[in-house]
Every structure is written in C-alpha cells, then in structure tokens.
Amino acid sequence: MSSSTLCFVESPVQLLNVLEWAHHDRATATVVVLSPNDPMTRGQLRRMAELARGEGHVVRWEEARGGASAPFHTIGGLAGALRGADRVVIGDPFSRYVQLLLTITRARDLVVVDDGTATMEFVSQLARGERLVRWHRRGGRPGPRDIAFGPVSSAARRRLTPRPGRRVRLFTSMPVDEAPDGVETAANDYAWTRARFGPPRLTRGADLVGTSLVETGVVDLERYLEAVRGLAAAHGATRYFAHRRESAEKLHRLAVETGLQIVRPDLPLELIARRGPIGRTILSFPSTVVHTLPIALAGTGVKVAVCEIDPAWLKQGVSDHAQGFLAGIAGSARGVRTV
C-alpha cells in the first residue's frame, strides 16, 4: 500500500506519530515532509526522516516554504499523487497547507495522527461543526487572511467529516471525550518507540521540559523565567530540555539566571527520554509531553509532574478559552502529579 498511502507532516512529533500509526496498522507509506524554515525543527525532521526510511517508508522532502513560489511548486508537484492516493494521513488539520491539500485529494480513508495537544481542540471543533482555529487564537476576531482562506478551511473540515464511502480515523494518545459521530479512534500507546528505544538509565536529579508559550504570546516572559527558577530550586532540576520554538535569547537568560544546563534535543522528547539518561522526575508545564511521556516511559520508574499555569502569568488579552484549554491539558493528563 506504500504507493497509495500519503502522509503529510510538518513537525518532528507529527512524523513520530506517523511512525507509531504505521507500526500499529502494519502499513508502509510515502511520507511527505512539508519542511518549515526553523533550523531546529528542520534538524529534528531530518533525523526523524532517517528513522522513517529505516522502517521502510519512502520520504519525500519538500521545501514547501522556500520562497513566494514554493507553495505553488509543492502543491503542483503533489497533485497527481494526491488524486491517486487511497489513504491520506495528516498530522496538523489546522495547517493551511494541509487544508489546501485536503481539497485536492479523493482519498476515501483519512487518518489524523497527533500534533500534540492541538488534537484535543481539533476533535472538539469537529464535533461541534465549528471552524478550525488553533486554541491560542480562538476567541479573537478573524483577520483578513482568515477570512480569505475561509472557503478552503470549510472545505477541509467537510473532508474530515465522515460520510458514506469516506472513512475518517483518529490515532491519538490524547484523551478524547467527545469524538465526532462516525470518527473511528485508536489509541497510540507508543509501541514503536518502546520497542526501538530504552529502557533509559535514570539520573538522580530532575529534568525540566521547556514550552513555547512565551513565543506564542500566551505567557509573559518575566513570569515564565520566575516560574522556571522556582521549579529548578524546589526540585533540584539540573537540565532544561528546550522546545524547538524557544528563542535563543530566552534560553540564554534561562541558563544565566537559573544555572540550568540547556539541552536542545535532536529528536522528539519521547525518543530522547527513552534513550536516556533521563531524570527520575520530569517537570513540565501544560503541554503534549504530560500526556505522552507517561505512556512512552511506562515501567521505567520515571515520574512526570505538571506545573499548572498561574493566570497571573498570562499576557493581557489572552482569551478565557486559552486559559481553560491550558487547565484542561493539565487536568486531563493521566499518570502525572501536580506541583
């Protein structure tokens, strides 16, 4: 089925979860990487692409954002394969790139794999028939680009709605409380990751996982630095695993002001933690890893703890929905404790 299964990914986590889905379904595929411009993300994607090739998948690397004409070149080059695909697997239904590609495909089998906690928001919006909007932008007024792209986004949402002759599946490690009617769900238990990596050697200290909430405009920088200092001191953390979107300036300040060793992972944290060495306690703010790490590290003795976001840390203008979403990430995580 490799010639008739197309997977579209834009981040390392999406590609990891494509590998997990393929392992679960015993499938091989052509994986199309719609490469972003961020150097750290590109580096992780290239490492993940090597792992995908090692599993027997074909990887097609597209410089999808390499200039004004790149989207036209990319979409034009993929149109034939899209029309001929029986199955399409996507990692980010909120991506405008992916939404545009979904309007071209005639595939009768659509699979959505995790793009982190955004999956929870996607499921909720699809179940309610709402427009697809990323959680941190929801509640705001649509901009000119949102309005212009509205028909494409609506068409993509319709493609992701099951109907006779079209199968829509969700492969996820996130809690799903309200799956849309007709959408089939399967649990991602990180079987591929646990089979290929580890178990890890454990260190005596704690490790702290970074977040891009400052970069996305949700959390105030000074409040975030203060929170990290407090967590590191209280729990004896020695390392800070940076999120791939965190700015170099922020990470420099963290290193200077907290004494933490800044680690820029070359693979998704689920794989880094399984390879080890890793702390006996992993501290994280509300993010994808509070859901995925307890699964990936099951049976290793590692404890995952989540630090909830104090409303006072949020930047002015952050919507009530965004606050509720962050609280929901922490509250719905299984196998973690709150600090």
Per-residue pLDDT 10s for the chain (339 aa) are 345 899 999 999 999 999 999 999 999 999 999 999 988 899 999 999 999 999 999 999 999 888 778 888 888 899 999 999 999 999 998 888 889 899 899 999 999 998 777 787 888 888 877 777 765 555 556 667 666 667 887 888 888 888 899 999 999 998 887 778 899 999 999 999 999 998 999 998 899 999 999 998 899 999 999 999 999 999 999 999 999 889 999 999 999 999 999 999 999 999 999 999 999 999 998 888 999 999 999 999 999 999 988 888 988 878 777 777 777 777 777 777 787
First to last CA, the chain: 46
pLDDT at 146: 65
- Are 29 and 5 in contact, with CB atoms under 8 Å apart? yes
Q: Using the structure block, give the residue that is written with the tokens 């390499």.
A: 66
| CATH class given for the domain over 2-188 | alpha beta
Q: Using the structure block, give the residue that is written with the tokens 């004004």.
A: 68
- Tokens coding 52: 């995908």
State the fold for domain 195-338: Rossmann fold (3.40.50)
pLDDT at 323: 75
- Cβ count near 48 (within 10 Å): 26
- Tokens coding 180: 């849309």
Tell me the one-letter amino acid at 146: D
In the chain, ranges of CATH 3.40.50 domains: 2-188, 195-338
**Rounded-to-integer distance, Cα 64 and Cα 72, Å:** 9
Q: Using the structure block, give the residue that is written with the tokens 């965004």.
A: 322
- Are 226 and 252 in contact, with CB atoms under 8 Å apart? no
pLDDT at 2: 42
In the sheet with 278-284, reading across from the earlier edge strand, the strands are: 261-263, 237-241, 202-209, 278-284, 303-306, 336-338
pLDDT at 142: 64
**Rounded-to-integer distance, Cα 284 and Cα 338, Å:** 10
**Rounded-to-integer distance, Cα 217 and Cα 221, Å:** 9
**Nearest partner of 158 among 179, 186, 116, 130, judged by Cα:** 130
- Are 298 and 223 in contact, with CB atoms under 8 Å apart? no
The helix (H) or strand (E) run that includes residue 221 is: helix 221-235
- Are 90 and 98 in contact, with CB atoms under 8 Å apart? yes
pLDDT at 1: 38
- Are 221 and 206 in contact, with CB atoms under 8 Å apart? no
DSSP string, 123-162: HHHHHHT-----TTTTTSPP-HHHHHHHHHHHHHHHHTS-
